[in-house]
Amino acid sequence: MTDTQTLYAAYSGIIDTALGALVSEGVLPDDASFKNVTLEPPRDASHGDLATNAAMVLAKQAKTNPRTLAEQIAEKLTAADGVVSADIAGPGFINLRLEPAAWLNELQAITALGDDYGRSTIGAGTTVNVEYVSANPTGPMHMGHCRGAVVGDALSSLLELAGHDVTREYYINDAGGQVDVLARSVHLRYREALGADIGAIPEGLYPGDYLVPVGKALASELGDKFADAPEDEWLPVFRAQAVTEMMEVIKGDLALLGIHHEVFSSEAALHQAGKPDEAEKWLRENGFVYDGVLEAPKGKAPPEDWEPVELPLFRSTQFGDDQDRPIKKSNGAWTYFGADLAYHMQKAEKADELIDIWGADHAGTVKRIKAAVAALSQGKGKPTPFDVKLVQMVQLMRGGEPVKMSKRSGNFITIADMIDEVGKDVVRFTMLTRKPEAQMEFDFAKVVEASKDNPVWYVQYAHARIQSTVRKASEEESVSPSDEALGQLGDEELTLIRRAAQFPREVEAAAKAREPHRIAFYLYDLATDLNAFYSLGNTALEKRFIVKHDKGLSAARLFLADAIGQVLRNGLRVLGVEAVDRM
């Protein structure tokens, strides 16, 4: 092996070669598909080093039964380099036993590849646009935005590691009614800054103190020329200014989380560029948009002012939606959906694939936007895969009690508050310790606990332990180990190496499934193995990483420790969590 190749990649290749040989021998058909063939650790380590389901998956295509095919595959595999034996077990699994050096090579691969260990090419350089956060620019980020932000960012990093070219994008909703409300709220603060007595903030405006400085800035910049002017004179000015200020606030909050988007797209700019009109024109020509009358809302009392009106409707029912959806309002303005549809068309022009991360409260709009992307991208001859990931609610707790929040008074828990209290790493890691589509609790007391019950702490602790050990080593112990020394590593070390070797597979599986949380769980398992091995040294001095009077063995163990540390770092980097050296 001249190239540095990871173990699973190498043996996947060997299996492909064996299967290829069977194709040329006519055992398997020429058009056999190997796509469901997997190579994985056997259920029980005593079965061997690697297991493949190839025979079971391909039996049908070979028109034979799994065990017969398994024998033919096993024969080829036994002859392969580095394979000691290939046994058939259960319904047709093939268990491979490897020469011990195979695993030791993996350690060398980890060290040689360093930060690139785990990097994959399955993404094949395709471009993926991940849109996440996209919080309305009306105030600081609060708790509700946090999970989607972290999941989107970790997913982006994961896809990059898996070989995709990722664009992180933020959609600024700066065109709807809520930014007018923002502008009015700022105007009030502006008058306040000029000395007016504004009294209580009226119902329907944003009451938060964070607008006070914006008002002050505008007062000193503009003087009092808009203090008593009619609204239509100052509204555009205040709106633009307020959105700019709020985006600065939001970018600051995101930076606290370690998140940086490459692209910020403005809804207002989209309108100015006439994108929604373009989209509508195309959709009408192709029969996806027609003028029609909406049905009254079902299942609950219709709004008092509801009356049937003819609107331009998008045929989302063709794609499984309950009803067709309006792209324009009766006053002629675009609906959010109308603009969003054009926005996705714009994104699809620049990327091979789109992913949106949304809060679960938007679940009801998934069908229509997926329908729109399907209609537009297929129609334009470039079908673009598009996935919407919904992140469920986070319930904030403190010592088992729900944290009360009142959005009305502007007294909500901001992301800045959270990070201030528990730190960025804790927030990020904790958000990734549950699959996103399940609801979760975030307990301020629990997440800072220093115990095995707290995954963030536990994983960082494992890394700090390794670093501490490495620091303790003498110069002769810190050298590259000889082959003989590496050969002294036994079963207990192998358990650890086996787990480490899973990392590249874990990255690929997580990337394919678009599930960054798997990396968090993997790291926890790796940390468990590390701590288990480390503890052996508490009762048996000869099992420590650093063994007195045995420089060779110490060098081999330290080499192992270093490799595990490298894998922990690589995984934590995907999650955007610091790998600390001391705790």
CA proximity to 210, closest of 404, 411, 403, 418:
411
CB 170 within 8 A of CB 263: yes
Taking the least distance from each CB to RNA, the nearer of 518 and 573 is 518
Taking the least distance from each CB to RNA, the nearer of 367 and 380 is 367
Considering the complex, what minimum distance in angstroms separates the CB of residue 11 from RNA? 13
Contacting RNA within 444-503 (CB under 7 A): 450-453, 457-458, 461, 464-465, 467-469, 472, 502
Considering the complex, what minimum distance in angstroms separates the CB of residue 534 from RNA? 4
3-state secondary structure 417-440: HHHHHHCHHHHHHHHCCCCCCCCE
Q: Which residues lie below 8 Å from residue 498, measured CB to CB, with a gap of 6+?
A: 41, 45, 49, 103
Taking the least distance from each CB to RNA, the nearer of 215 and 504 is 504
Contacting RNA within 266-305 (CB under 7 A): 294, 297-300, 303
CB 556 within 8 A of CB 494: no
Considering the complex, what minimum distance in angstroms separates the CB of residue 383 from RNA? 18
DSSP 76-116: HHHHSTTEEEEEEETTTEEEEEE-THHHHHHHHHHHHHGGG
Tell me, residue by residue from 505 to 524, as one string, x for binding to RNA by CB under 7 A and - for no binding. xx--x--xxxx-xx--x--x
- If phi > 0 it is left, if psi is from -120 to 50 it is alpha, else beta; for residue 389 that is beta
CA proximity to 133, closest of 160, 172, 161:
172
CA of 468: how far to CAs of 133, 480, 529, 541, 582, in Å? 38, 18, 17, 17, 7
Taking the least distance from each CB to RNA, the nearer of 191 and 571 is 571
CA proximity to 128, closest of 161, 160, 172:
160
Where do we find the tokens 């007018």?
180
Taking the least distance from each CB to RNA, the nearer of 420 and 542 is 542
3-state secondary structure of 314: strand
**Residue 95 binds RNA (CB under 7 A):** yes
**Residue 326 binds RNA (CB under 7 A):** yes
- Please give the size of the binding site for RNA, defined by CB under 7 A: 103
Helix (H) or strand (E) holding 192: helix 177-193
Taking the least distance from each CB to RNA, the nearer of 28 and 193 is 28
**Residue 532 binds RNA (CB under 7 A):** yes
Among 15, 543, 564, 568, binds RNA (CB under 7 A): 543
Taking the least distance from each CB to RNA, the nearer of 545 and 559 is 545
Please list the residues that pair with 128 across neighbouring strands.
Answer: 166, 353
Contacting RNA within 60-89 (CB under 7 A): 66, 89
**Residue 42 binds RNA (CB under 7 A):** yes
Angle between helices 517-539 and 455-472 (to 10 degrees): 50
Give strand ranges (E) for 126-256: 127-131, 165-172
Where do we find the tokens 């009109």?
277
**Separation CA 556–CA 107 (nearest Å):** 10
Taking the least distance from each CB to RNA, the nearer of 57 and 219 is 57
Considering the complex, what minimum distance in angstroms separates the CB of residue 350 from RNA? 23
Taking the least distance from each CB to RNA, the nearer of 43 and 350 is 43
Considering the complex, what minimum distance in angstroms separates the CB of residue 451 from RNA? 4
| Window of 240-248, 251-259, 359-367, 480-488 that interacts with RNA by CB under 7 A | 359-367
| Window of 14-22, 116-124, 252-260, 358-366 that interacts with RNA by CB under 7 A | 358-366
Contacting RNA within 367-396 (CB under 7 A): 367, 390, 392-393
Contacting RNA within 120-149 (CB under 7 A): 136
**Residue 57 binds RNA (CB under 7 A):** yes
**Residue 336 binds RNA (CB under 7 A):** yes
**Separation CA 227–CA 219 (nearest Å):** 9
Among 231, 285, 291, 437, binds RNA (CB under 7 A): 437
